[in-house]
Amino acid sequence: MNKAVKVTLTLVVVIILAIAALLAYVLLALDPNSYKPQLENAAREQGVELHIDGDLGWRLFPTIAIQLGETRFESETHGIRPSSVQEVNLAVGWRELLQKRIAIKALAIDKADIHLTSSEQAATIAAVPASGDQPVSTDDKSFSLGVEKFSIANSTVSLEEDGNTTLLSNIDLSTSDVSLTGDEFPLAISLEYRADSSAEPIRLDLDASLSLDQQAGKLLASNTIISVDGAMPESIKLNFSAAVDIENQSGELTDLSATAGKTTLTGTGAYRHSLPRSLQLNLKGTEINTADLLVQDAAAESAGEGDTAADSEATNLLASIFAPLAILEGGTGNIDLTMDKIIHSGIELDNMRLSLDAEGNRLTINEISGALFGGTVNATAVVTNSATPRVTFNKEVTNIDLASAFAQLADDIDITGTLNLKVAGETRGADSDALLDNLKASGDLQVENPVLATINIEQKYCEIAALVENTPKRSESWPQGTRLDNLVSQFRIEDGKLYLDDYSTAIGNLKMRGDGEILIDEQAFSIAVITRLEGDSTSAEGCAVKSTRVRDKDIPLLCEDSFATAGARSCKPDPEFMNALLQNEVIDKIREKTNLDEEKVEKLEGLLRGFLGGKKDK
């Protein structure tokens, strides 16, 4: 071996041994247990009772650090119930160590189990013992605390408040170069969240660059990325920048972008936590399909075809509506949301816009509008949150294609046409049954070019006319349905029923009017149809009528059935009318076939009507 190489290796070995000897001397000369009182006093000054159960020792790898075993602590000031940490490592500075001084540069906590009693103080656990460029020191400078790096691993935090327990588990947190004077530093957090012990965990990951100016009371967050898994079937990713006023407990969000599956939201927001609270959100989004985003409730999954699924959906709807009120605790808020498309259970609402204001226990929906079933819908509402929530609303729909609407909402109803309506109403209740049972509304509707696919009203009228005129049975088959002229009506909704009041329509010369009711839950109908022929035929495809007993007379029909079974037998002539009509036919035949004088005919007519229960035709 080359002599120069041997000399070099010898020098390296000597230097290493010298450093090791010096380090061994320092470590033996300094007993970390002597600093227990300083650590406990430093905690006590911050309002925390700290008890280090075991001895303090040295850890040499990967950095020199003082290692604490199990440590217990609690704080009435900060709302911390008896808690513990399995292991704490306090990394120390080399230069200070060689001067027989302890300068803590980094703090690493492992397996913490922290119990909190107040959400207002929950941020205490995340407070980094940072001191910037002014470390906290003892008077003799033998001990200083100037943490440059801070980390928490494998830890748990539980918050018990108002009888509810919120659990944060598998917490990992790391930061470095923390400054209180406005310099930027990184922060990374990952954890699992449970609203209660039985709930499925929600995974949250956060990466951000923070800037904290303690003197000005300002916190800035830039390039913030939050990922959430488990809250919805699709992962949620948030990107934003924020400016927080710590003293006033308020902040603003800018450059906000949220994605979940195919859905993207962008916008801005502002929030004030101090009372009175306030919230402003201005968001614009692409397409939302609730089937991809909403976690199906377990009760709904087990309900099958029962009502529990609908009740759960209505409960979730009310919870979503009242969520801003719960956050604001009586404050004010405004949300302005536009979406390219919302898809729910196959129903598509395009170009949706929602504008709402919140104040106290009231939500005012200034506008919820969009394109639906080939037309448009526009509604306003006031929702009052109380022991029994109340809703008042106004709604207008224009040019709705009934075929498309019923295909999605009630496929048993086979009616086509174009619907226009205006309605105002109110309801109250906390679930779908109560909201429907207590619904009261009224308005006006118009259906352009309506077609009843399974009922032919013209056929029923012509069959009555043929019976009176004793004409042969029609040789051509009748169409299955009825094509009507435009239908207009007033309507009411109450007691779970839709009432049609004084509707009117026509088939050519055959005018129709009447009223009726539709049983919403039972999907059934009972509608009175008063027909009147104003001409000598009903329509080009209908029948000619000569009898004055039928023409220009009100002939009542009654249409009753369920939408699922509606057909040719659903509409029948009024029995009392048919009885009177047959009596008149019998009396006319008596006049024709006998030579009785009019006085005797009238007496016979009286006896016949008395026997059959009819009245003399005027």
Q: What is the pLDDT of residue 487?
A: 96
CB 543 within 8 A of CB 463: no
pLDDT at 158 over 80: yes
Per-residue DSSP letter, 88: E
More reliable by pLDDT, 148 or 419: 419
The SS3 assignment for 579 reads helix
Residues 159 and 39 in one domain: yes
| Nearest alpha carbon to residue 150 among 103, 94, 110 | 110
Q: What is the pLDDT of residue 139?
A: 52
Q: What is the pLDDT of residue 239?
A: 95
Number of domains, the chain = 4
Question: Which helix (H) or strand (E) segment is 9 a member of?
Answer: helix 3-29
| 490 is a domain residue | yes
Residues 133 and 43 in one domain: yes
More reliable by pLDDT, 100 or 150: 150
Residues 161 and 111 in one domain: yes
Mean pLDDT of the chain: 79
pLDDT at 533 over 60: yes
| Nearest alpha carbon to residue 257 among 283, 290, 228, 294 | 283
pLDDT at 309 over 50: no
Spatial separation of the C-alpha atoms in residues 164 and 565, rounded to whole Å: 51
| 420 is a domain residue | no
Q: What is the pLDDT of residue 29?
A: 45
Residues 87 and 218 in one domain: yes
| 187 is a domain residue | yes
The SS3 assignment for 547 reads coil
What confidence tier does 426 reach under pLDDT thresholds 50, 70, 90?
A: very high
In this prediction, residues 217-240 reach a mean pLDDT of: 90
Q: What is the pLDDT of residue 299?
A: 40
The range of the structural domain enclosing residue 17 comes to 1-30
What confidence tier does 439 reach under pLDDT thresholds 50, 70, 90?
A: very high
In this prediction, residues 142-167 reach a mean pLDDT of: 76
Residues 83 and 130 in one domain: yes
φ, ψ at 62 (rounded to 5°)? -80, -15
pLDDT at 315 over 70: no
pLDDT at 207 over 80: yes
CA atoms within a 13 Å half-sphere pointing along the CA-CB vector of 612? 21
Share of the chain above pLDDT 70, in %: 73
Amino acid identity for residue 462 in this structure: C
Q: Which residues are 510's β-sheet partners?
A: 507, 533
φ, ψ at 324 (rounded to 5°)? -60, -35
User: Which of 231, 264, 283 is the last residue before a domain boundary?
Assistant: 231
In this prediction, residues 414-428 reach a mean pLDDT of: 95
CB 156 within 8 A of CB 114: yes
pLDDT at 490 over 80: yes
CB 100 within 8 A of CB 149: no
Residues 56 and 149 in one domain: yes
Q: Which residues are 504's β-sheet partners?
A: 488, 513
Q: What is the pLDDT of residue 149?
A: 80
pLDDT at 94 over 90: no
Spatial separation of the C-alpha atoms in residues 351 and 339, rounded to whole Å: 6
Task: Retrieve residue 250's tokens.
Answer: 């308020």
User: Which of 231, 256, 286 is the last residue before a domain boundary?
Assistant: 231
| 300 is a domain residue | no
| 330 is a domain residue | no
CB 374 within 8 A of CB 401: yes
More reliable by pLDDT, 453 or 376: 376
Q: What is the pLDDT of residue 409?
A: 86
| 39 is a domain residue | yes
More reliable by pLDDT, 339 or 163: 339
The SS3 assignment for 267 reads strand
Residues 463 and 604 in one domain: no
Spatial separation of the C-alpha atoms in residues 219 and 203, rounded to whole Å: 25
Q: What is the pLDDT of residue 206?
A: 93
CB 157 within 8 A of CB 172: no
| 282 is a domain residue | no
Residues 524 and 581 in one domain: no
Q: What is the pLDDT of residue 449?
A: 95
User: Which of 201, 231, 261 is the last residue before a domain boundary?
Assistant: 231
Residues 500 and 481 in one domain: yes
| Nearest alpha carbon to residue 563 among 400, 401, 406 | 406
| 287 is a domain residue | no
Q: What is the pLDDT of residue 327?
A: 74
Q: What is the pLDDT of residue 307?
A: 46
Task: Retrieve residue 358's tokens.
Answer: 């919140």
Please list, in sequence order, all residues whose beta carbon lies within 8 angstroms of the beta carbon of residue 397, skipping any fewer than 6 positions away.
372, 375, 376, 377, 378, 419, 420, 421
Question: Which helix (H) or strand (E) segment is 461 a member of?
Answer: helix 457-469
Q: What is the pLDDT of residue 76?
A: 81
CA distances, 191 to each of 77, 83, 157, 236, 295 (Å): 26, 19, 10, 15, 20
Spatial separation of the C-alpha atoms in residues 221 and 208, rounded to whole Å: 6
What confidence tier does 204 reach under pLDDT thresholds 50, 70, 90?
A: very high
The distance in angstroms from the start CA to the end CA of the chain is 140
What confidence tier does 255 reach under pLDDT thresholds 50, 70, 90?
A: very high
Amino acid identity for residue 66 in this structure: I
pLDDT at 320 over 60: no
Tens-digit pLDDT profile for residues 346-386? 899 999 999 999 998 889 999 999 999 999 999 999 998 87
* Helical axes 575-593 vs 457-469, angle rounded to 10°: 20
pLDDT at 531 over 90: yes
Residues 11 and 91 in one domain: no
Amino acid identity for residue 575 in this structure: P
In this prediction, residues 491-515 reach a mean pLDDT of: 94
What confidence tier does 311 reach under pLDDT thresholds 50, 70, 90?
A: very low
Is this prediction's pTM over 0.85?
A: no
Residue bearing tokens 């009785």: 596
CB 498 within 8 A of CB 491: yes
More reliable by pLDDT, 358 or 44: 358
What confidence tier does 177 reach under pLDDT thresholds 50, 70, 90?
A: confident
In this prediction, residues 523-533 reach a mean pLDDT of: 92
Per-residue DSSP letter, 119: G
Residues 19 and 66 in one domain: no
Residues 520 and 613 in one domain: no
Amino acid identity for residue 293 in this structure: L
pLDDT at 433 over 60: yes
Q: What is the pLDDT of residue 507?
A: 95
